[in-house]
Structure 1
C-alpha cells in the first residue's frame, strides 16, 4: 500500500520525522498524560470518556485507545488530531523539526485529488484576486476603498487580508469565471454564483459588498463574507455551506493565527472579521472569529488542540455579553482555561481601538481580562435588583452556585471573600451555601461517561481508574493476534509462520500485516516495531498493529505455544465446514431425505475426527 499511496515520500524521510518527535512529548501537548507502569495514560481526545482508556507506550512510540480503537505512531496521531492526510502530517512534522522537505509536494503524494474540489478552490482563489483588484485599482471600488480607509484600514492591512469589492453588476464574476472555462453549475455549488429564477443562467451571489476571503487551515480561499456599506440587510452575507466550507468547523484567520496560537498556547476569540483585522494591526496575532454564527463545540475543539487558554473578546453590548456566557462552558468542557476581555460601554473591539488607540486597547482591555467566574458574577448582576434586600439575597444564592463549581477551596474562598466584603454577609454563611450546592451537585453526578463532551484531554479528570478487559475474541483470532505480536518482535518466528501458514490468516487485516512483515524482513530489516509500523502508512493497519502490540503482547511463548497457535488457525476451515455440514444435516432431516442425512452424518464424523487429530 505504501508504495502506491505515498511512494513520493521516502521511507528514510518518514523515519527521520518519526525519530525527531517523541510521542509522549507530542501527545502531551493535546492530552494530559500520567505514568502507569511502562505506559502513559489519559483521556482519549478522539471520543468522549470520563475514565482513561488512551495509552501511549514510550518504548514502542505508539498510542492506542482501548475505547474507540484509534492507534498508530506519532505521525498518525497528528494526522488524526489535526485532520491532516498522512503526507500532510509528515510535512508539518518535518517542518517543525527543521527537516528539509525534499520530496515531491506532500499534497501530491496522497490518494487522487477530487477534481471538482480542486476546481472550486481554484475559482475561489481567482475570485479573491479579482475582487481585490476591483477594490484597489478601479473606479467601481473607490467608494468601498474610501469606506475602509475611513474605518482606519491601511492599504497594507487591506492587502494582507486580501480584502476586495464585489461590484453592483449582476454578472461580473459569472462572466469572469465563464471566460476562464469554469463550469458555472459547479460554481453555483461552490457558493460563488446563484442561478436565475427562470433557469436561464447564473448571476453573482455577492454584489455591492466589501469582500473578506475566508481561508481553510492551509491558507486556501474556500468562502467569502460580504459586508454591505450602507444600512441594508443582511449586514454580512456569508458563502453558503458547500463541500469546501462548513461554518461550524471554520474559524476566520485561523490559518494566519495558528503559529502564534501554537507557540503561546493562547487564543483570542472575536465576533467579527473587522475585529480580527483591526486587532491584528494592533499587535494581536493569535485572534480568530467565528463565521458570523454562534460558537460551536467543534470550534472549541479545534482551538483546544492548539491552545490551553482562551480569551473571549466579544462586543460590550448585551448581545455580546450573552454570547460570551454561552461560549464559556463550551470552552471549559473542551478543557481550556477561559477569561473574558471587558470592553467599555457597548463598543466592539474595532470601535474601542478607534476611540482609545491600539496601545490603550492592549493595555487596558486585552492585558487585564477577568476570569470566567468573575465574568459570570458580573453578568448575573443585571438579572437582580441589588438595591433591594430580596434582590441581593437572590443574587448571592445564584452567585453561590457559580462559586461552588470551582475545583479548589482557595479559588472558592477568594470569591466568597469578595462577595462577603461587598454585601456584608459573613464568610460562614456563604461557605454553608456553597457547601450545600456542592453536595447537591455531587449527588447528581453520574459515574458514566459524559457523552455531551465531544472532546476532552483530562485536564479536569482527577479520579483514578483502570482499563476494562478487551472484548473476548474467538480462539483463532486470539491466536492470529498473538502470533503477529511475536512476529513483529522476532524475525525467526515470522519465517516459521511464513513457511507453515503463509497468508492463511482468516482476519483480512491480520493477513495484510503478515504480508507486510514478510516483506519487511525480506528487505533485510532487523526487528523494529517502530520502523515497521511507520512503513504501513495505512491508518487501519496501524491501528490493528498498535492494538496487537499493546493488548496481546504479554504472554509466555515457546515452540509448543507457536505450534498450538498455528494448529488453532488451521482448524478454522474445518470448523466452518463442520458448521455448514450441520446446517445441511438439519435441512435434509426436515425434508425427509434419509439417505442424504446419513451421508452428511458420516461427513460430520470424519470432520470431527480431523479436528481431534
Structure 2
C-alpha cells in the first residue's frame, strides 16, 4: 500500500525504531500500571490520568477525549504534523534514508517555512552570542553579565548574547544568508519602521536570552534592556514557532531532571534560573516574563507531581506566587512556596549566601500552599486591633476548611489557637461551617466540566456502558478485536460476513483489515494503525485494541459473534414487517395483513437457520 508515497518498509522501520513509550514520554510523564503506562492526557485538561499507553501493542488511547493511535499518530497530534511530516521527522531522528517522493506542495511550503524560521533563529542566536563575547559593541554587556557572577561557561551553556544598539545589523546579516525579509518579519526578528521606510532589528541594545523548544531548538528570544530602555524585558512576538503562554524558559534543559524526580522549581526571571542552575538546581524554569497560565501548569503537570514556586521575596513576587497557586493546584500539582528573606530575588540570594544555603535554607524549607496563604494574608490585618484579629481568624478558618486531610486541618487549627490564645473549639466550629459550604459547592468527581474524567463516572461507565449497547454492537467490537490479533479469524470473517457489519465504521475497519492481511502483513496493531491513515478509524481501532484483550476467544465464541451479527438484518426486516402488518390491520386490509404475517414467519425461519 502507498502511505502518501512513503514505502511500507519505511513505515515499518520508523515504528520499529521508535518505541511508543519513548515517543510519548517526551511529552507525558508515564507511570507503570500492570501491563499499561498511564499519564495525564496531553490533548485535554484532566486531573485523573485517563491516557493509556500499551507498550505490547505500541498504541495509546485516552478514555477521556478518545484520542488514540500509534507513535506516528501521537506525533501528528502533538506537533500538528501531517502523516508525511510525522514519518519524515521520525525517519530523520532514526537516520532512516528519506527516499520517497516529495510531499504535496502545501506540505513542502509549510515545512520550508518552519525550517527557514528555525534556521534564522539559530543563526541569530549564534550572531548575538558572538557579538557579546568577541566585539567591542558587546563589551559593556559582557562586563555587566560577569558582574552578575556569570562565567563564560554558563554564557556558552545558555547561549546568552547581546543585540547591539544598531538599527539593522542582524537584518543585514540574515539577508546575506538568503533568508527573505517577509520570513524574518513573520519570525519576529525584524519590525517595520514607524514611518514605513524599511525594517529594523526587533532587539537592540539588549542582553539576549534564547528560548528553546523541548528539542533544544531556538524558537524565540527574550531581551533585557541595558540602561533606561523600555520595556525592561522584550519577548519575541507570537509566531508559528513560539507561544509565550505555553513556553517555559529552560524546560529543554530541566526536563530530564524533572521527569526523574517528579519535582520542578518555578522561577520568575531568566537570571534566577541560570544562577540556580549554576547552584545545582537543574530542575528550574521560568515563564516568559508573563503571568503563569493554565497551559504552563499543564505542561509542568505532564512531567512532575510537585512544584516549588520560588519567586522574588518582595511583595510583588509574593503576590505573583499567591496568584499562581490556584492555577498550579487546578492542574493537579502539589505546590509549595519558597520564601526568600529581605525581599531578595533568587539570583541575589545565591550570590550573597551561596548555593548550599539557597538549597538548604530556601528550597528545602518551602512552605505548604496552605501555610503560604495564611502567611500572605497576615499583612492585611492589624493584630493590635481585636476586631482585625477576629477577621484574620475567620479568613484563616476559610483557607483551612478547604484542606482535604482532617489531620492537617486539626494541625492548623491548633496552631492558630496557640498563637492567638483563642479557644480551639471556636476556631474549629468556624472552620467546620466554612467546610460545609465548601463541600456543597463541590460536585462529585474531580473535573466538573468533563464528567467522564471523574473517578466516580469512570467506575459507573465500566458497569453501565456495555448494557447501553445492543448485543450485535458488542459482538462486532469483540470480533474486530479478535480479527486484529489473529489473521485466520479475519479470513474466516471475510468469508462469512465480508462487509456486512451493521455499524458503518465497523464495516470500514473490517475492510481495511482484510486489505492489510491481503498484502501479506502479520497481526500488528501499531502497523495497522499506520495503514489506516484515517483519524476517526484510528481512534476506533485504538479504543477496541485497548478495551478488548482478546482473552477467551475460541471457535465457538467467534461463531456466536458471527451469528449475532448476521441475524440483525432479519430482525430489522421482521420489525419493519410487523409495523406494516399493524398499518394494514388498521386500514382494514385483512388479506394484506395475512400476507405480511406469512412473510414474517418465513423471515423468522430464515433467522433460525443462520
- Please give the TM-score of this superposition, normalised by the length of structure 1: 0.79
How do 1:109-128 residues align onto structure 2 when only pairs under 5 Å count?
Answer: 114-128=111-125
Query: Which of 287, 309, 312 lines up with 1:312 in the alignment?
Result: 309
Tell me the CA shift for residue 490 of structure 1.
Answer: 3.7
Equivalent position of 1:301 in the other structure: 298
Equivalent position of 2:157 in the other structure: 160
Q: Is the counterpart of residue 548 in structure 1 residue 544 in structure 2? A: yes
Query: Which of 96, 106, 113 lines up with 1:103 in the alignment?
Result: 96
Q: Is the counterpart of residue 492 in structure 1 residue 506 in structure 2? A: no
Equivalent position of 2:509 in the other structure: 513
Equivalent position of 1:188 in the other structure: 185
Residues 506/20 of structure 1: CA separation in 2 closer, same or farther (3 Å cut): same
Query: Secondary structure in 1 aligned to 2:358?
Result: helix
Q: Which has the higher contact order (CA 8 A, sep 6+)?
A: 1
Tell me the CA shift for residue 49 of structure 1.
Answer: 6.2
CA contact (8 A) 2:52 2:61 kept: yes
Residues 194/70 of structure 1: CA separation in 2 closer, same or farther (3 Å cut): same
CA contact (8 A) 1:71 1:543 kept: yes
Q: Is the counterpart of residue 261 in structure 1 residue 258 in structure 2? A: yes
Cα deviation per residue 1:509-558 (whole Å; 9 max; x = unaligned)?
Answer: 54653344234434656556577557667654432112234567899844
CA contact (8 A) 1:6 1:109 kept: no
CA contact (8 A) 1:134 1:141 kept: yes
Query: Which of 132, 136, 139 lines up with 1:135 in the alignment?
Result: 132
CA contact (8 A) 2:306 2:335 kept: yes
Structure 1 segments unaligned to the other structure (5+ residues): 95-99, 579-604
Residues 445/485 of structure 1: CA separation in 2 closer, same or farther (3 Å cut): same
Cα deviation per residue 1:336-378 (whole Å; 9 max; x = unaligned)?
Answer: 1111111111111111122222232222112221111111111
CA contact (8 A) 1:317 1:345 kept: yes
For residues 457 and 474 of structure 1, the distance between their equivalents in structure 2, rounded to whole angstroms, comes to: 25
For residues 372 and 7 of structure 2, the distance between their equivalents in structure 1, rounded to whole angstroms, comes to: 50
Query: Which of 444, 451, 459 lines up with 1:465 in the alignment?
Result: 459
Tell me the CA shift for residue 197 of structure 1.
Answer: 3.0
Residues 537/11 of structure 1: CA separation in 2 closer, same or farther (3 Å cut): farther
For residues 182 and 61 of structure 1, the distance between their equivalents in structure 2, rounded to whole angstroms, comes to: 41
Root-mean-square deviation (Å)? 4.6
Query: Secondary structure in 1 aligned to 2:285?
Result: strand
Residues 6/65 of structure 1: CA separation in 2 closer, same or farther (3 Å cut): farther
Q: Is the counterpart of residue 147 in structure 1 residue 144 in structure 2? A: yes
Query: Secondary structure in 1 aligned to 2:138?
Result: helix
Cα deviation per residue 1:65-107 (whole Å; 9 max; x = unaligned)?
Answer: 444222346786688679899999999999xxxxx9453599x
Cα deviation per residue 1:114-159 (whole Å; 9 max; x = unaligned)?
Answer: 2111111110110011111111111111111111111111111111
CA contact (8 A) 1:42 1:457 kept: no
Cα deviation per residue 1:51-70 (whole Å; 9 max; x = unaligned)?
Answer: 88767779867554444222
Tell me the CA shift for residue 215 of structure 1.
Answer: 0.7
For residues 98 and 311 of structure 2, the distance between their equivalents in structure 1, rounded to whole angstroms, comes to: 40
Query: Which of 417, 426, 445 lines up with 1:429 in the alignment?
Result: 426
Aligned residues: 570
Query: Secondary structure in 1 aligned to 2:191?
Result: strand
- Please give the TM-score of this superposition, normalised by the length of structure 2: 0.79
Residues 287/7 of structure 1: CA separation in 2 closer, same or farther (3 Å cut): farther
CA contact (8 A) 1:8 1:103 kept: no
Tell me the CA shift for residue 2 of structure 1.
Answer: 5.2
For residues 178 and 431 of structure 2, the distance between their equivalents in structure 1, rounded to whole angstroms, comes to: 68
Query: Which of 221, 240, 253 lines up with 2:218 in the alignment?
Result: 221
CA contact (8 A) 2:39 2:302 kept: no
Residues 132/453 of structure 1: CA separation in 2 closer, same or farther (3 Å cut): farther
For residues 32 and 400 of structure 1, the distance between their equivalents in structure 2, rounded to whole angstroms, comes to: 39
Equivalent position of 1:409 in the other structure: 406
For residues 51 and 395 of structure 1, the distance between their equivalents in structure 2, rounded to whole angstroms, comes to: 34
Cα deviation per residue 1:5-27 (whole Å; 9 max; x = unaligned)?
Answer: 5857563663575598899x999
CA contact (8 A) 1:8 1:109 kept: no
CA contact (8 A) 1:91 1:101 kept: no
Equivalent position of 1:289 in the other structure: 286
Residues 204/2 of structure 1: CA separation in 2 closer, same or farther (3 Å cut): same
Residues 440/174 of structure 1: CA separation in 2 closer, same or farther (3 Å cut): same
